[in-house]
């Protein structure tokens, strides 16, 4: 199975209506090259974007939104993207704000086969609206559901030909969680090496989750 | 002394040797500059760093090492990078001794609002809801009023970040603790009277029988 491909080929798998998980935290570890290809080489629309923050107005998630290709967003902080901000205010229901730890755990749960979990985060706040809660040993918890995606787009420092990824420093963030939560995973890598080059102890994401590897 | 420096120094005096501490953006970040000598504190940045260091020298920035505000930072010897699930597992799991944040509003039950100004600005909660529900001590480091408008209220009117979560409020005027009976002023800064604090506070509060002078080390 050959996974090394072009950005154009990789994004051709993305369909209209897909839930697309985008790794990165603000500009840190954001897979800008693949997003650029999604913008220019794909016509998929009505996308749902799952990302920590939807970036800044200078980044490609903003450009994808500007092109009218995004109809829903799940994020934790949207202070840097003016389109997400106006969607939140003017199109109720289009932007779901999720506490950051809850978003991370919902994505992790999807990848790890856990349909729902309990968390104390958000009790008594807007994050609790419409959710079931449970009291355990006198403390209240919200029931949060796993969040699955159709496609993960992530950034790696080094990937091998099998798709094993090393994600350096603070770029692990959501990049390390999203591949397991999605049906199809595209990795952009700063460097691609033969299988066996990355020390197994230093593999952040196993290649079993990865379908396409694109040289940055 | 500048109000923000005064507040940051007082919060720093509350740190204990071995603490794991998360500092919010802005004034809370300044606390790291005043950690008392002789104690070791590990700073956590929720985007994925345990063992955060100071900002790098100009030209020494590393694109892969940044804090929750996206700004370049360094890591100290002994640090570990984390993915977001583990980073928040550390918070939820109770390993963060102190979370220091700012506030738009706080009330006498310890309810906190700091993520949304309804109808105006909705930047989102980021990791704040997780931090306030998971950290053992939730310290607000903030100026007592917003240009004269009350921030300490009987009841928050903005959407909450957390319900009954704040434990200590540190301002340029005083230190208050949130108790089951409401707010208790435990320290008063030099130059202010109890009446000054009352005028700047939109909630009733008790004054501790052993009210102390709020003091910080000189530079």
Average pLDDT over chain A reads: 98
List helix spans (H) across B46-191.
Answer: 84-92, 128-134
Closest by CA position to B112, among listed B94, B130, B95, B87: B130
pLDDT tens-place string over residues B177-194: 999 999 999 999 999 999
CATH assignment at residue B172: 3.40.1080.10
Helix B84-92, helix A100-112: angle, nearest 10: 120
| Residue A67 and residue A41 in contact, taking contact as beta carbons nearer than 8 Å | no
Task: Please say whether the dihedral angle defined by the alpha carbons of residues A176, A178, A183 and A185, taken in this order, is positive or negative.
Answer: negative
The interface pTM score, or ipTM, of the predicted complex is 0.97
d(CA B96, CA B218) in angstroms, rounded, equals: 28
Residue B109: pLDDT band (50, 70, 90) is: very high
Encode pLDDT of A63-83 as tens digits.
Answer: 999 999 999 999 999 999 999
* Cβ neighbours of A191 in B, within 8 Å: none
- Cβ(B73)–Cβ(B100) below 8 Å: no
* pLDDT-based confidence at residue B195 (cuts at 50, 70, 90): very high
Q: Which domain holds residue B107?
A: 3-213
Residue A182's SS3 state is: strand
Cα A25 to Cα B67: distance, rounded to the nearest angstrom: 9
Min distance B188 CA to chain A CA atoms (Å): 32
Helices (H), chain B: 3-12, 84-92, 128-134, 194-199
pLDDT tops 90 at residue A202: yes
Give the tokens for residue A195.
Answer: 């299988």
**Residue A101 pLDDT grade (very low, low, confident, very high; cuts 50, 70, 90):** very high
B130: closest CA among B165, B106, B105?
B165
Cα B73 from Cα B54, distance rounded (Å): 6
Which tokens hold the place of B15? 């740190």
Report d(CA B83, CA A68) in Å as an integer.
Answer: 31
Q: Is residue B180 part of a domain?
A: yes
DSSP state of B86: H
Give the whole-number percent of chain A exceeding pLDDT 70: 100
Q: Looking at residues B27-42, what average pLDDT do you find?
A: 96
Q: What is the mean pLDDT of residues B107-114?
A: 97
Q: Hey, what domains does chain A have and what are their CATH numbers?
A: 4-114+148-215 (3.40.1080.10)
Q: Are A121 and B129 an interchain contact pair (Cβ–Cβ within 8 Å)?
A: yes
Contact B84 A28 (CB under 8 A): no
pLDDT (mean) for B27-41:
96
Facing residue for A120 by CB, picked from B127, B128, B133: B133
Say if residue B84's pLDDT is above 90: yes
Nearest CA to A153 out of A4, A36, A2 is that of A36
Q: A213 pLDDT exceeds 90?
A: yes
pLDDT value at residue B219: 74
What's residue B156's pLDDT? Answer: 98
In a domain, B219, yes or no: no
Contact A124/B162, CB-based, under 8 Å? yes
Q: A76 vs B162: CB contact, 8 Å cut-off?
A: no
Report yes or no: B81 at the A interface, CB cutoff 8 Å.
Answer: yes
**Strand partners of residue A95:** A73
| pLDDT tens digits, A37-52 | 999 999 999 999 999 9
Q: Mean pLDDT score of chain B, rounded to an integer?
A: 97
Which active-site residues of B does the annotation give? 46
Q: How many structural domains comprise chain B?
A: 1
For residue A1, pLDDT over 80 is answered with no
pLDDT in tens, B118-174: 888 889 999 999 999 999 999 999 999 999 999 999 999 999 999 999 999 999 999
User: Which residue matches tokens 């998980």?
Assistant: A21
Radius of gyration for the alpha carbons in chain A, expressed in angstroms and rounded: 17
Q: Would you say residue B218 lies in a domain?
A: no
For residue A13, give both structure tokens: 């798998």
Taking the C-alpha atoms of residue A109 and residue A183, their distance in angstroms, rounded to an integer, is 14
Query: Is B62 near chain A, with CB under 8 Å?
Result: yes
Please state, for a pLDDT cut of 90, what percent of chain B lies above it. 96
Convert the pLDDT of each residue in A124-142 to its tens digit.
Answer: 999 999 999 999 999 999 9
Q: How far is B121 from chain A (nearest CA, A)?
A: 8
Q: What pLDDT does B89 receive?
A: 98
């Amino acid at each position: 199975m050959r996974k090394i491909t072009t950005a154009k080929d990789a994004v051709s798998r993305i369909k209209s209506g897909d839930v697309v998980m985008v790794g990165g935290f603000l500009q840190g570890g954001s897979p800008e090259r693949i997003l650029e290809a999604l913008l220019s080489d794909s016509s998929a629309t009505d996308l749902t974007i799952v990302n920590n923050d939807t970036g800044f107005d200078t980044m490609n998630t903003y450009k994808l939104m500007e092109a009218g290709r995004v109809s829903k967003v799940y994020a934790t902080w949207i202070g840097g993207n003016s389109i997400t901000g106006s969607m939140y205010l003017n199109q109720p229901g289009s932007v779901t704000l999720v506490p950051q730890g809850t978003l991370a755990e919902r994505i992790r749960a999807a990848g790890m086969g856990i349909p729902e979990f309990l968390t104390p985060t958000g009790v008594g706040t807007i994050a609790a609206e419409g959710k079931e809660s449970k009291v355990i040993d006198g403390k209240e918890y919200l029931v949060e559901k796993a969040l699955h995606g159709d496609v993960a787009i992530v950034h790696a420092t080094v990937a091998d030909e099998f798709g094993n990824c090393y994600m350096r420093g603070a770029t692990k963030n959501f990049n390390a969680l999203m591949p397991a939560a999605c049906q199809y995973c595209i990795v952009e890598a700063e460097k691609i090496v033969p299988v066996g080059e990355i020390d197994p102890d230093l593999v952040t994401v196993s290649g079993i989750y990865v379908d396409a590897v694109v040289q940055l | 002394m500048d109000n923000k420096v005064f507040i940051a120094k007082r919060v720093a005096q509350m740190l204990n040797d071995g603490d794991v501490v998360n500092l919010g953006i802005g004034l809370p970040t300044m606390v790291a500059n005043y950690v008392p000598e002789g104690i070791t504190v590990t700073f956590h940045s929720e985007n994925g760093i345990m063992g955060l260091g100071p900002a790098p020298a100009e030209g020494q920035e590393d694109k892969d090492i940044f804090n929750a505000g996206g700004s370049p930072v360094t890591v100290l010897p002994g640090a570990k990078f984390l993915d977001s699930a583990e980073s928040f597992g550390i918070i939820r799991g109770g390993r963060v001794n102190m979370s220091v944040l700012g506030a738009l509003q706080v009330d006498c039950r310890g309810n906190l609002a700091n993520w949304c100004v309804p109808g105006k600005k909705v930047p989102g909660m980021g990791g704040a809801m997780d931090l306030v529900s998971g950290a053992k001590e939730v310290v607000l480091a903030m100026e007592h009023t917003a240009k004269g408008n009350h921030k300490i209220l009987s009841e928050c009117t903005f959407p909450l970040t957390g319900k009954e979560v704040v434990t200590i409020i540190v301002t340029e005027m005083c230190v208050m603790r949130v108790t089951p009976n409401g707010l208790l002023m435990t320290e008063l800064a030099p130059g202010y009277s109890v009446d000054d604090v009352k005028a700047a506070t939109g909630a009733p509060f008790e004054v501790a029988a052993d009210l102390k002078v709020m003091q910080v080390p000189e530079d």
